[in-house]
Each structure stands twice: as structure tokens, then as C-alpha cells.
Structure 1
């Protein structure tokens, strides 16, 4: 039994209560009407028996006074006779009212007729007695006595039959009362069971959605804000409760997402601040290493400039070019590592550096450069002093240890969202262990290594370049090192978009 969901719990409870009361009242009404019907039958039977018994008694009294009058001729007996005669007449009228087309009704009708005849005989006999008509009242007396005996036997037989019928009727009434009582008990038990089932139904209907809602609340309290809360139309109250709880869960989820987003932003900002601090620290340490590797760089720079001017005055172009390249390199280094540079500036510095090497070592050091022809490629911004340490490393740890020299190759091109720069040499190569050490060194060990390792010109090692690139771009996969077929390559993968 399921009522429409739009009905409120209060309405459902009132409906079930009224239904139970109605069933109980109908059962009580049925029992009352059944018992009342039995009582009416009992009263009717009693009244009929009483009427017959009363008529029998009046006939007996009338006969007694009749016989007394005939034996004593007493006026009191005569008056009493007429009184009882009138009472018998009234009884006859009452009996005739109860005549029905049944066996007993026929007997009652016969008794009424016999009593009429009996009254007539008695009245005729009394008149004859009072008129001193001896023959007539003697015969009338005999007929009256005979009629009285016949009526008495007939009425006694009928009362005996009524008594037996009353006993049977009483037994039937007792059985009916027992059946009605049993029916009432069964109906009361059925109503009790119905009420118990109804209470259980309502309890389950009320507690089941609340238990489900409690489980949803427990999941949300555990951090599962994606729990799906379905519609529930058990009742109007539960529907409103579920709708409100679902709205509250959505608001909590939105608020938590806002807090998480805020936390992520704050974490990113904090991480960026830490990275910036590390970047500044690395730059300061790199500059310190560069300064430590240079003895009064401004003095050296000015001295080189003077040497270049003297070489120019004496017409020594090679010496002049050499000094100019050295001056350009020192000028580029003196700008500091805390400023960025374009790829064009980095390449110009590399060309000056390679001119120094080729002037010093001749054809044993060959340099090949391949730059993709794109106007915006050379304007790409990257940390200053990124390429020179890689070229220095290619020379010092690569081709310088070969008697026949070698080739340093530099290439730059655009690939997807990245700018690729490769510095390769065909020197002695690099072991996989060394490559693993350079690329996957622990940050603390890397910072310690920055204080020790340095190149012969810039004072900056590959570790420093890798560390600064990772801090600058906010990612770790900015460099790949390969050593295949006698060629060692440092490949830089620099994203076009720099993290804020």
C-alpha cells in the first residue's frame, strides 16, 4: 500500500488512523446490530411465551371463579368471573395480533378461536345459572368444563413446544453470540495487525530516507563531495529535506573547491617565490664564481681594449680581432646573470668565444652553426650565459683531449611549443653514469656542486645552467644529454611560454 508522494506524513497518519477507527466502528456496529437482532428475537419469543402463559393463567383463574360461582352462587365469584373473562378477551386480542403464517401462528389462531368459543360457552352457562334455567346451565357448565380442559391441554402442549423452541433458540443465540464474539476478536486482532503493519510501514518510510541521508552526510564529511544525492518523493517533507540537503552539499562542494583553488594559487605563488629565491641565489653564486675566476675583470677588459687599439694602430688585424672578441666576451659576462638575453645575443657571444678558440688552436677546433631561418627565433628570450658553458664543456671535456681536434656543432630550431637548441661535439664522449649524474642530481647536492664546479672562462658549469633553466621555466625536462655514434649532444628544450 503506497500513498501518493505529494501527501504529507501528517495527512497519511490521520488517514490511517481514521481508517482504523472506521474499521473498528464498523465492527462494533456490526456486533451491536447482530446482538440487538438476537435480543429482539429473544424479546419477541419471550413476549409470545408470556402472552400465551398469561392467557393460560387467566383461563385457569376464570375457570376457577366459574366453578366457584356455580357451586356457591356468590356475587364476588361472579364479579371475579367477569373480570377474568374480560382479561381473557384482552388476551385473545393480543394473541391474534401475533398470528403469522407459521405453524405456531396457526396454533395461536386455533387457541384464539377456542378461547372465543370457551368464553361464549361460559357466558351462556352463567346467564342460564342466573336465569335459573337448570337444564341449560347444567349443559353449559359441562360444555364449559370440557372446553376448558381441551384448551388447557392444547395450551400446555403449545407452551411445552414453545419451551423446547425457546431452549433451541437460546442455544442458537448462544452460538451466534459466540460467533459474533469470535468475529469481534478476529476483527480486533486484524485491526491490531493492520495498525502494527501501518506503524512499521510509516516508521520504515520515515527512517529509510533519513538513514540514506545520514549515509550521504557521512560520505560528505569524509571528503567525498561528488556523492550523488537522488530525488526522494516519499513525502513532501522528505522531498523538501532532500532538495535542501542536495543544495547544501552543492554549496559546500563549491566552497571547498574555492578553498582548494585558493590554496593551489597560494601554493603556486609560494613555490614561485621559493623558485625565484633559488634563482637569485644561483645567480649570485654563479656571479661569485665568475668573479672568483676573473682577476679584476674591469681592469682586464680595459687592458684588452687598449691592446686592441694598439694592434689596430700597428696594422695587426688578427691581433686586433682577437682582442675585440675577448673584449666582447668580457663585456657580455660583466652584464650579470640576473638579466636575460635573446638567442641572438647568446649566439653572438658564442661566435666571439669560438673565434678566440680557433685563433688560438687553429683548425683543430672546428665550429659549425645551423640556425633555422625564422625572424622571431633569434628574439627568443632565455637566461644569460646559457650556451657558453655548454660550448666550453664541449671543448674542455670533449675535443680538447683529442690530438687531432674535433668539431663543435650548434643548432637552433622551433619545434611545436618549444625552442630546441643543440650543442654537440665529437670528442671523447660521456658515460651513461655521468649523464645520469648530471640530469638527476639531488637539488641539495646540485647547489653544493654549484659552489665547486666551474668552467675555465665563464666560471659557470653545466650543473649551474641546468639548475637555472629549471628554475626559470618551472619544469625539469629542459635538457637531454645523449652520447651516440661518437657524438655527445646537449639538447635544450625551452618552452615558448615561461611560467609566471
Structure 2
């Protein structure tokens, strides 16, 4: 049987996994869309940088051809190196799946134009060093033509990239709306699922506990006829139900034993009270017997005194009367168990 702790962990996992999916999926989609937009923005920035390098190369080469200064030549060489490192962006072997065929054609065209521009510029520098004005003038004129074409291609590429950025932003807005709708529906479904699972989990826990509480109240009121709580649910609840059932039976047996003991003690007490009453009656009978013995002796003594007084006064008849009366009293106080003759009576 699954323990309560394990069941709680299972319910939490069942809720946390969909919640994590519902949170990570929209975040991932948004991140993908943002990365695409950022990539196109960086590409457009690189196009602008190449355009600035082409313009700078033209300016430094013109200054060098006109003045022949070392600073102009050094500036030209630095820009040429930067342009050489940037030309890899337009290499034909690079295939961005997000680019359309027209853009790939333009990038290949820009790549070869940059190569041609660098070769023409290098020839112009060599012609300048070889002191051939006609040649470097012609080369510079060709460079200006190539530079114009190159900058035109870069502007068109930049415009197309901006158009793609706008399209991606529109697509991003639409997709983000769908993502928001999906997130709302998913979270609503997750909340409903959470409520259902929480209700099921609470009922599975609360039902045995409420049943245990009701049975405990009945036992507290002295009703031990409560049926045993069924052993079901988690391990902890089963242990609680089993402990309560055993406790109820133990308390019931203990109370029955106490009741039997109380009944026995009550019987013994009643016997003691009866014995005390019997002893009291015996004492009363003994006292009555003593009183019955004391009173006749007192009467006999009084009659004997009367007989003696009558004898002293020589009143024989009175003496005989009193003596006969004393004999009558003795006879009347004689025990009934004593045998008496008719003559005596």
C-alpha cells in the first residue's frame, strides 16, 4: 500500500510536470522568436558595417592616390583587413536556411564584388607605387564603379533584411498571441486538473480521518458498539485505523472488567451490610435479654423485701400473699422450653 508521503510526492509530480511544460514551452517559443529577430538585426548591422568599410576604403584610397601619404596608406590597409574579415559573412558556402534564394544571390554578388573591390584597390596602390597615374586613375575609376554597385547591393540587402525583420515581427506578434492563448488554456486546464486532484486527494485523506473522528466521539460518549474502521487508504491511515480499533477493543474489555469488579465489590458490600445488621440485631437481642434478666431480679428483690417486712410486722397473710405473688412471677418468667407438671401449673 502506498504511503501518504509517497502519494503526496506522486500528486506533486503529476502537477509539477504539466506546469513545467506549460511554462517552458511558451518561454522556449518566445526565445526562439527573439533569437531569430536578434539574428536578423545583427545581420543588418553587419551589412551597415560593411557599407561603412567600403566607404572608408574608398576615402582612404582616394587620399593616398592624391597625396601619397603614409597615414592614408596605413588607414587603407587597416580598413582592407577589416573588410577581408567581414567578407566571410557573404561566402557562398554559408547557407542560412532562413534566407530566400534572392537574398542568397545578392550575398554571393556582394561577396564577389568585395573581392573584386579589394583586387582593384590593390592594383591601384601598386600602380601608385609604380608611378603610373593613368593606370591607378583607371583602377580608381573602376573601384568607384564597383563600390557604387556594392553599396547598392548592400542597401538592397539591408532593405530586404529590414523587410524580413518586419515580417518576422508580425509573425512573432501572431505567434505570441497564439502562445498567450495556449498558455491561458493550458493554465486553465492545469488549474482544473489541480482542483480535481486536490479534491480527490483531500477526500481520500479526510474521509478516513472524519470517520475516525466520529468513531472516537462515540467511544468517548461510552458507545463501544461502534463498528471497526476499515483498513484502507495510505499506510499511515491504515495504521491509525488499526490502532484505533485495537484501542477501542482494549478500552471496552477494561471497562467490562471494571464493571464486573464493581458488581463483585457491590455484592461483598451488601453482604457486609447484612452481616453488620445481623450483628446489630444480635446485640439488640442480647441487650433485651439482659434487660429481661435484670428487671425480674429487681422485682423479686422488691417482693422479698416486702415479705421480710411483713414477717417483721407479723403480717402473715401479707407475707404469704407476697410470697405467692413472687412464686407466680417466677413461674411466668420460666423459659417455655422447660417442662412443667400439671400440678405445678
TM-based fold match above 0.5 = yes
- Displacement, 1:138? 3.6
Alignment correspondent of 2:247: 248
Is the 2:208–2:237 Cα contact (8 Å) retained in structure 1?
A: yes
TM normalised by structure 2 equals 0.64
Q: Residue 8 of structure 1 contacts residue 235 of structure 1 at CA under 8 Å; is this kept in 2? A: yes
Deviation at 1:175, TM superposition (A): 4.3
For 2:326, the equivalent position in structure 1 comes to none
Q: Distance in 2 between matches of 1:41 and 1:179?
A: 18
Alignment of 1:37-52 (within 5 A): 37-52=32-47
The offset of 1:33, in angstroms, is 3.8
1:367 is matched with none
| Contact 2:124 2:140 (C-alpha < 8 Å) held by counterparts | yes
Shift of residue 91, structure 1, vs aligned partner: 1.5
Kindly indicate which of the two structures has a greater share of residues assigned to strand.
1
Q: Aligned residue for 2:114? A: 115
8 Å contact kept, 2:92–2:108: no
CA–CA distance in structure 2, aligned partners of residues 178 and 160 of structure 1? 27
* Counterpart in the other structure of 2:155: 156
Q: Distance in 2 between matches of 1:81 and 1:265?
A: 124
| 1:57 corresponds to which of 48, 52, 61 | 52
Structure 2 unmatched runs, 5+: 275-336
8 Å CA contact 1:121, 1:144 repeated in 2: yes
> What is the match of residue 96 of structure 1?
91
The offset of 1:57, in angstroms, is 0.9
Which structure has more relative contact order (CA 8 Å, sep 6+)? It is 2
Structure number with the higher helix fraction is: 2
Q: CA deviation at 1:113?
A: 0.6
Deviation string for 1:117-167 (max 9, x for gaps)?
A: 122223223333443434433432332221111111111111100111122
Matched residue, 1:172: 171
Q: Which runs of 5+ in 1 are unaligned?
A: 1-5, 275-297, 304-500
1:20–1:195 CA contact under 8 A, matched in 2 = yes
Q: Distance in 2 between matches of 1:259 and 1:74?
A: 123
CA drift at 1:80: 2.5
Cα separation, partners in 2 of 1:261 and 1:64, compared to 1, 3 Å: same
Check the 8 A contact 2:211/2:229 in 1, yes or no.
no
Compute the RMSD of aligned alpha carbons: 3.9
Task: Quote the residue 1:362 is aligned against.
Answer: none
Please give the secondary structure, in 1, of the residue aligned with 2:91.
helix
Question: Equivalent residue for 1:145?
Answer: 144
Change (3 A) 1:80 1:210: closer
Q: Number of residue pairs matched?
A: 274
CA change 1:261–1:166 in 2 (3 A) is same
Match status 1:15 vs 2:6: no
